Amino acid sequence: MSLQKLGLKHNTDKATFHKYLDFYQKLLPKRTFKGRLLEIGVMDGASLKMWREYYPNAEIIGIDIEDKSHLYNDDWKIPKTIDIRQIDGTDTKQLTDLGMFDIIIDDGSHYTADQQKSFEHLYLNQLNPKGFYIIEDLHTSLNPNYVNSKRNTIDYLKHAMIEYEFYHNKANPNDSMTCVIKAGQL
The pTM of this model reads 0.95
Residues 6+ apart with CB under 8 A from 44: 71, 76
Query: For domain 3-27+34-182, is the CATH number 3.40.50.10800?
Result: no
Region 48-54: mean pLDDT is: 97
Beta strand 36-40 with 59-64 is parallel
Cβ neighbour number for residue 113 with a 10 Å cutoff: 16
pLDDT in tens, 103-157: 999 999 999 999 999 999 999 999 999 999 999 999 999 999 999 999 999 999 9
Q: Is the model more confident about 168 or about 22?
A: 22
Indicate which residues carry an active-site annotation.
110
Q: Is 106 helix (H, G, I), strand (E, B) or coil?
A: strand
Domain boundaries, given as residue ranges, for the chain = 3-27+34-182
Gyration radius (Cα) of the chain, Å: 15
pLDDT over threshold 70, residue 59: yes
Distance of CA 165 to the CA centre of its chain: 14
DSSP string, 116-164: HHHHHHHHHHTEEEEEEEEEE-GGGGG-TTT--SSS-HHHHHHHTT---
Query: Do residues 109 and 63 make contact, with C-beta atoms less than 8 angstroms apart?
Result: no
Between CA 173 and CA 51 the distance in angstroms is 27
Give 173's pLDDT tier (boundaries 50, 70, 90): low
